[in-house]
Structure 1
Amino acid sequence: MGVSYDKLWHLLIDRHMSKTQLIKEAHISTNAMAHLGKNEDVRVEVLVKICDALSCEVDDIMEISHK
């Protein structure tokens, strides 16, 4: 089982927002962003902060693949 944050990157493009802007608005660490960029696991708290900053739901920013 793996995770993909491609939906997050597309959402940022649609909203003309950079990763740096998201880090500042969501109050997440650059380390957390690095993990997201590698499709690695992050804490649920990080996902909640991103969803709060973007006014969206978790399934709007990530997908779980069952391989």
Structure 2
Amino acid sequence: MSEWTEERRQAQRELIIRVKPWLKSTGAKTPEGKAISAMNAYKGGLRQELRRLVKESNDMLKEQREAIKRV
């Protein structure tokens, strides 16, 4: 991807200031759309579950390594 030139940045800046897209942003209007957007930040608890599983597997590997050293 190519870098933006200062001229291109300035042209984009002026366009955004002129059009003001934030004034036309309405967000979700239907109940279905609102339900979907309400879930945007939801991670489903998977991150915590993955951390727990990784910790368990690391603990098991550590125990196995220690058991092998004892043999």
Tell me the TM-score normalised to structure 2 length.
0.21
Q: When you count helix as a share of all residues, which structure comes out higher? A: 2
Structure 1 length-normalised TM: 0.23
Identify the structure with bigger relative contact order (alpha carbons < 8 Å, sequence gap 6+): 1
Point out the structure with the larger strand share.
Answer: 1
